[in-house]
Amino acid sequence: MKGLERSRQLFEDHVMPKLQEELPEVIPLLAAGLVGEGSECFGYDDAVSLDHDAETRICLWLDQEHYPKYADALNRILMALPKEIDGNPVHPVDGWRSGVFEIGSFYHYLIGLEEYPASNRQWLETEETRLAAAVNGEVFFDPYGAFTKIRKQLLMHYPQDVFLLKLAQAIAVAAQTGQYNYPRAVRRNDAVTANMIRATFIDYFVRAVFLLNRTYRPFYKWTYQALSALPVLGKEMHEKIEALLNAPWDGAEEGIEEMSQKLIGEMQRQQLTENTSDFLMDHLPDLLSKVEDKTLLEKGISLII
């Protein structure tokens, strides 16, 4: 059983009955689920994950008004839970991974803000992998709606101007590394540099694919797995990347070009560029021309590097 399933079972079979028995007045004010750091919050926990942080966990959230009144009582309920379920240890209080949290503080820990970013600048300054951690997992229960309200806003993804800037940066680095510098490294017979360039191209190519799916890219060790589930270019590019990595160090140019054309085709399909060039860098003017807040362009795309 996956960690998310165990967490839901813990809530439904043990936490909720205790709340109904000992603290019924808090039920309409409470949110419960499993969100944040850890492979199980993404549903990626497996046999390898069992070597650390494999305990069953749960998060309970209250708003700023109700947290001081009920936090201690809720913590006592959590600490009285069974020590294990189906042979798996229960860890009811574990830093920011499990326990009772004030909603604003929980989001501040994850994204540096107590709610969703209020401006384009705040969006640009918020690390994408932290945003992914703030919207992963599952909320099992939230009749009050305060926790889910912020979550829904974050799930709407970046404002259009921020999306365009981040896509422009990903496209620029992919073009500079894969399409421009990789062939030059091969001509210089520099295998180490060619492999470094290939890895950087893949990194920024994947960033672009997540952006085109309007999905936050998770922490690097889960990015490739998450890629395959994306509806736009996800499964196809998951396979292309593996092929690109398996190519000889001096034989990846064709794969890089094929992947680059896929990005261009998708940007054209989404009406983000009208340019017909095969070079990714040539599509930056079209992307940046669509940015409405021109003050964001003052430092160019280096603003988000």
**43 and 119 part of one domain:** yes
**38 and 82 part of one domain:** yes
**168 and 264 part of one domain:** yes
Residue 33 DSSP one-character state: E
**238 and 217 part of one domain:** yes
Span 238-267, pLDDT tens digits: 999 999 999 999 999 999 999 999 999 999
Helix axes 253-269, 191-212, angle to 10 degrees: 20
**151 and 166 part of one domain:** no
The predicted structure's pLDDT at residue 53:
58
- Rounded Cα distance between 207 and 168, Å, is 11
**232 and 295 part of one domain:** yes
Tell me the backbone φ, ψ of residue 157, rounded to 5 degrees.
75, -175
Question: What residues are paired with 32 via a beta bridge?
Answer: 60, 141
Residue 214 DSSP one-character state: T
Reference 113, options 105, 129, 62; nearest CA is 105
Residue 11 DSSP one-character state: I
Tell me the backbone φ, ψ of residue 85, rounded to 5 degrees.
-130, 125
- Rounded Cα distance between 59 and 61, Å, is 7
**8 and 134 part of one domain:** yes
The predicted structure's pLDDT at residue 303:
43
DSSP string computed for 80-102: TS-SEETTEEB-S-BTTTBEEEE
**Model-level pTM?**
0.93
* Total domains, the chain: 2
**16 and 77 part of one domain:** yes
Q: With left for phi above 0 and alpha for psi between -120 and 50, is residue 302 left, alpha or beta?
A: alpha
Span 12-54, pLDDT tens digits: 999 999 999 999 999 999 999 999 998 999 998 866 655 555 6
The predicted structure's pLDDT at residue 134:
98
Span 217-233, pLDDT tens digits: 999 999 999 999 999 99
- Rounded Cα distance between 270 and 22, Å, is 54
Final residue belonging to a domain, choices 126, 155, 184: 155
Reference 140, options 32, 42, 27; nearest CA is 32
Owning domain of residue 295? 160-304
- Rounded Cα distance between 49 and 38, Å, is 9
The predicted structure's pLDDT at residue 94:
83
Final residue belonging to a domain, choices 98, 133, 155: 155
Reference 24, options 83, 93, 73; nearest CA is 73
Final residue belonging to a domain, choices 139, 155, 171: 155
**7 and 151 part of one domain:** yes
Reference 177, options 210, 153, 142, 204; nearest CA is 204
Answer whether 3's CB lies under 8 Å from 57's CB.
Answer: yes
Answer whether 74's CB lies under 8 Å from 29's CB.
Answer: no
The tokens describing 302, both together, are 């280096």
Other C-beta atoms lying within 10 Å of the C-beta of residue 261: 12
**35 and 8 part of one domain:** yes
CATH number at residue 121: 3.30.460
**168 and 284 part of one domain:** yes
Tens of pLDDT along the chain (305 residues) come to 788 999 999 999 999 999 999 999 999 999 999 999 989 999 988 666 555 556 899 999 999 999 999 999 999 999 999 888 878 889 888 889 999 999 999 999 999 999 999 999 999 999 999 999 999 999 999 999 999 999 999 999 999 999 999 999 999 999 999 999 999 999 999 999 999 999 999 999 999 999 999 999 999 999 999 999 999 999 999 999 999 999 999 999 999 999 999 999 999 999 999 999 999 999 999 999 999 998 898 765 544 44
In the three-class reduction of DSSP (H, G, I as helix; E, B as strand; rest coil), residue 140 is classed as strand
**38 and 142 part of one domain:** yes
